[in-house]
Structure 1
Amino acid sequence: MTKHLHIDTQAMRAKILDLAIQGKLTDQRAEDGNAQDLLKDIQAEKEKLIKEQQIKKEKPLPEIEADEIPFEIPKNWMWARWGTLSISIKYGYNTSAQKDGKIKMVRISDIQNNQVNWDSVPFCNIPKEEITQYLLRKNDILFARTGGTVGKSYLVSEVPENVVYAGYLIRTRYSEKLSPQYLKYFMESDLYWSQLKKGTTTTAQPNCNAKTLGKMVLPLPPLAEQKRIADKVATLFAQLDAIDKAYEEYRELQQTMKAKLLDLAVQGKLTDQREEDGNARDLLKEIQAEKEKLIKEKQIKKEKPLPEITEEEKTFDIPENWMWVRLGEMILNHIGGGTPDKSNEAYWNGDIPWMSVKDVHQDSMYADRTIDSITPAGLENSSSNLIEANRLIVVMRMAVGRAVINKLPVAINQDLRALFFRDNVTQEYILRIFKILKFETSGMTVKGIKLWVLLNTPIPLPPLAEQKRIVAKLDELLPLCNVPGVYSKEK
């Protein structure tokens, strides 16, 4: 039996940080000295800066209580508060971003993946006499104090020009007797985030102030060991980054292989063509005869004839017993949907599964459940339609072109369209084609596909028997492209 490898790189990063700040990732050395002497040096430095009036004297922070200490640390380490180690903790300057101005201003949104794209940082207008106190220096740490990113931190690794920081950020500056990277790693640890959560208030949005940050406790090693810890963590993280990169490259290879198989399949190169299959022209005649019958019986409406397929639209050669057809020629009928009134509780949480875009996943062939459900009243009092099981449902807005076959009756919303085929068309074959189709979309904010674009889409149509062989062959080959095991990483 093949064993599957479970690699959760994000969990491994969290464990590495936990071990690091407990002193279990590095050795303790007598020549490092101890953290008590280090703290005395930092306090002496702060006293000197206070006398020189470069920083203000602050109220003493409370002693660290026993119940604040979450784990044991090495003997030459000590527990300290963030505010004790900081030379200053200062809020940013409150002003709006400008295209032009006196100086650039870093905002929370400019910090992505622990990096700042300095070229895109906006300007601001700030009085000249106030600039100095808000200037960023290398090794400052910025802290997001509000909103959805509260607690996110950024170690300033470079300052290419004079830059200030915005009001929703807090700048912490500390002694050169501390390792900036060690402090940054602490601000990524579970210990940091657990303390932040306790100190965060929630009103309209989460908020954490400088007082909470200053009271945080952290394990303090001697400087030499701080540097060893930072180096060790960086080395291990680099190895995990390499795993992430290799996985992403493999994922890309997977997708390339899958796309190639699908390309070969719809060109008739994955299966053999057999004389006994007949040809797709007879199949199309049967579909057209069925549509005429349904029109006469007034079960469906007659639609405008679709244009002939041009040679330019035939993007590759297909076998002689296949033919190029427009999707609309193959469809007997198509139905849209709608959404019941969200404010009416009587329409929701009923027994009827209600499908929306979020229920149609890119890598899925079938849908056997939905997130939401509606009541018969919700169905009756909306433009939603109940679609019987085993119909091909296509996304028309947002995730345009995604498609699944529903395995249970569902009501659909307005962003979806159900397609109905005759039984001489294998829906799984059409579904495979949707995986590689590129649609012309429209819309400024929300992309969508117009119905006529969908119906006019040219596709290669094999005889029914070969459609089934193609699906069977893809079902056999596509799983071989999948990554074995389970993989997880931070997004």
Structure 2
Amino acid sequence: MLADKLRKSVLQSAIQGKLTEQLATDDNVEDLLQAIEEEKELLIKEKKIKKQKPLPEITEEEIPFAIPENWRWVRLGEVIELISGRDLVKDKYNNNCEGIPYITGASNFNNNNLIIDRWTNEATSIAIKNDILLTCKGTIGEIAVLKENKVHIARQIMSIRLLQGNIEYIKWYIISQIDKLKSMGKSIIPGISREMILNYLIPLPPLAEQKRIVEKLDNVLANIDELKANEEKLSILQKNFPDKLKKSILQSAIQGKLTEQLATDDNVEDLLQAIKEEKERLIKEKKIKKQKPLPEITEEEIPFEIPKNWKWVRANDILDVRDGTHDTPKYVVKGVPLVTSKNLDNGKLNLSNIKYISKNDSEKINLRSKVNLNDILFAMIGTIGNPVIIKKDIEMSIKNIGLFKSYRENAINMDYIYYLLLYMQDILKQQVSSGVQKFVSLTELRRLMMPLPPLAEQKRIVEKLDKLLADIEELKIE
């Protein structure tokens, strides 16, 4: 995102002295370093801190970039006290808000703020107000300036206490270095040591300029945060827009608003009569079974208006609606693919994780639910919908899947039915029975109401949708 790139760029400019103006009225940074040294000696004398080993001199090879003349490269250990954390055994802390907060790790950090969920009365590794807490083991680089008076820190955390200077400047510098710190801590269990922090280089400006840098960063980064929030909203909109547009176009199509109704189209009643006659012929030839009549469609059931030369029908009036087995056949290493709802993926068959059954079991299932070209599969259990129209002749059997078949070739445009089911799957999902698993019954599929246009208009709708939905797919972003 642009905001993330801007944030890194602004932080980099700030720590190089390019975000603020260097003023002749600023104190000399050497005076600040002398004051820090005197403060450190006083604390050692008062036994508040321990004397540390001298840090190595900074070499020219170590310096990563140029800084203003009145700045100095120093090691972090020269200007801070570093407190390491210590774990507490379980009976030494509680969740009852009693004692002082106990910060255990990355889970307590949220966007540079702390979440406190444990407390203790056995505090030994103490961080105090305005210390910088930094996660240093496991998850490296979570950071927050402490607002509480004091907390106990676990061993996954270090507390950085500035002897003199602007703690917010140090915070922003460390944040600018997080990626580098993480790379330093790569191992089986990621971690950065005390020595790494103490020896880490920091460009130190005069105190007045540290303050100016922080003020500038607070202002600029607030604007960048606002930009990031807007980018995230736009990203969500861009991600969701194609799917919403797709649904809107499908709705327009099945309402007859996407294509023109032509006077030259055949009467839809003639189409229905032809389907009825074909159905009766198949029943007479015992190729399909006669089913109980479906209830008439009432005015109350009709969800929207359709063109005059269209007709509301039930799925089983115009299609042979069946389902696959609901039993679990014995699986074999090699055999016939058994397609279930998990194999229906975005309008296509995904056979990458398919299971196989024997030829004998497949033939038994296919006595009532053989899948042919231009048939439509529709998931009935668990995941509802995800229709797939079969365009390649593949040997298979189906389980827990609805099967929509035309009574004869070209009796109806099955691509139109596919798009219709693609739209109506959301309606079915809202209506389905729910138990251990959501499911839609074969009866519900057969009773499904469908707006039926003349055959010629079905073809025009499919041609229009093929083009529009292909264009919409190109709008999708990863």
TM-score range, shorter chain: 0.5 to 0.7
Give the deviation of 1:57 after TM superposition: 3.4
CA RMSD of aligned residues (A): 5.7
Distance 2:397 2:202 in 1: 54
1:440-459 maps to which residues of 2 (within 5 A)? 440=430, 448-452=438-442, 457-459=448-450
Residue in 1 that maps onto 2:356:
379
Change (3 A) 1:404 1:468: same
Distance 2:223 2:342 in 1: 42
Q: Is the 8 A contact 2:16 2:66 kept in 1?
A: yes
Q: Is the 8 A contact 1:105 1:163 kept in 2?
A: no
Q: Is the 8 A contact 1:20 1:233 kept in 2?
A: no
Give the deviation of 1:331 after TM superposition: 5.1
Give the deviation of 1:9 after TM superposition: 2.8
1:160-199 maps to which residues of 2 (within 5 A)? 170=157, 172-175=159-162, 177-180=165-168, 183-184=171-172, 186-187=174-175, 192-199=178-185
Residue in 2 that maps onto 1:360:
345
Matched position secondary structure for 2:249:
helix
Q: Is the 8 A contact 1:108 1:144 kept in 2?
A: no
Distance 1:243 1:57 in 2: 48
Matched position secondary structure for 1:196:
helix
Q: Is the 8 A contact 2:55 2:199 kept in 1?
A: no
Matched position secondary structure for 2:226:
helix
1:433 matched to 2:433: no
Unaligned runs of 5+ in 2: none
Matched position secondary structure for 2:85:
strand
Give the deviation of 1:277 after TM superposition: 3.4
Distance 1:212 1:358 in 2: 54
- Of residues 138, 144, 148 in structure 2, which corresponds to 1:155? 144
Q: Which string of whole-angstrom CA distances, capped at 9 and with x for unpartnered residues, describes residues 156-212 of structure 1? A: 5866xx99688596253432724437635743x5x533542442333xxx5436648
Q: Which string of whole-angstrom CA distances, capped at 9 and with x for unpartnered residues, describes residues 420-452 of structure 1? A: 4324133352254147535136768x9644444
1:285-364 maps to which residues of 2 (within 5 A)? 309=297, 311-327=299-315, 330=319, 332-335=321-324, 357=342, 360-361=345-346
- Of residues 188, 204, 208 in structure 1, which corresponds to 2:191? 208
Change (3 A) 1:95 1:49: farther
> Aligned pair count?
450
1:9 matched to 2:7: no
- Of residues 117, 121, 124 in structure 2, which corresponds to 1:128? 121
Residue in 1 that maps onto 2:135:
143
Give the deviation of 1:29 after TM superposition: 1.9
Distance 1:134 1:393 in 2: 64
Distance 1:108 1:439 in 2: 40
Change (3 A) 1:354 1:257: closer
Change (3 A) 1:314 1:290: same
Give the deviation of 1:405 after TM superposition: 4.9
Change (3 A) 1:246 1:380: closer
Q: What amino acid sits opposite 1:102 in the alignment?
A: E
1:462 matched to 2:424: no
Give the deviation of 1:74 after TM superposition: 1.8
Change (3 A) 1:340 1:231: farther
Change (3 A) 1:110 1:24: same
Distance 2:393 2:43 in 1: 73
Which moved further from structure 2: 300-309 or 244-253?
300-309
Q: Which string of whole-angstrom CA distances, capped at 9 and with x for unpartnered residues, describes residues 227-275 of structure 1? A: 2455444444533443443454566666555544333332223333335
Change (3 A) 1:155 1:207: same
Q: Which string of whole-angstrom CA distances, capped at 9 and with x for unpartnered residues, describes residues 257-312 of structure 1? A: 55443333322233333354345555556666666777788877887776555544
Matched position secondary structure for 1:379:
strand
Unaligned runs of 5+ in 1: 1-7
Q: Is the 8 A contact 1:425 1:464 kept in 2?
A: yes
Q: What amino acid sits opposite 2:159 in the alignment?
A: T
Q: Is the 8 A contact 1:83 1:213 kept in 2?
A: no
Q: What amino acid sits opposite 2:256 in the alignment?
A: G
Matched position secondary structure for 2:429:
coil
Residue in 1 that maps onto 2:405:
421
Q: Is the 8 A contact 1:393 1:419 kept in 2?
A: yes
Residue in 2 that maps onto 1:217:
200
Change (3 A) 1:20 1:235: farther
- Of residues 81, 98, 119 in structure 2, which corresponds to 1:102? 98
Q: Is the 8 A contact 2:247 2:423 kept in 1?
A: no
- Normalization by structure 1: what TM-score? 0.64
Residue in 2 that maps onto 1:90:
85
Structure showing greater relative contact order (alpha-carbon pairs closer than 8 Å, 6 or more residues apart): 1
Distance 1:397 1:213 in 2: 56
Q: What amino acid sits opposite 2:356 in the alignment?
A: L
Q: Which string of whole-angstrom CA distances, capped at 9 and with x for unpartnered residues, describes residues 335-389 of structure 1? A: 47999999x9x77xx9x9999759835xxxx548x59366xxx534699999777
Residue in 1 that maps onto 2:65:
72
Give the deviation of 1:316 after TM superposition: 2.0
- Normalization by structure 2: what TM-score? 0.66
Q: Sequence identity, in percent?
A: 25
Residue in 2 that maps onto 1:26:
19
1:262-301 maps to which residues of 2 (within 5 A)? 262-278=250-266, 280=268, 283=271
Give the deviation of 1:152 after TM superposition: 5.5
Distance 1:317 1:449 in 2: 29
Change (3 A) 1:85 1:164: closer
Distance 1:339 1:216 in 2: 65
Which moved further from structure 2: 394-403 or 308-317?
394-403
Q: Is the 8 A contact 2:339 2:397 kept in 1?
A: yes
Distance 1:487 1:380 in 2: 38
Q: Is the 8 A contact 1:22 1:71 kept in 2?
A: no
Distance 2:41 2:286 in 1: 91
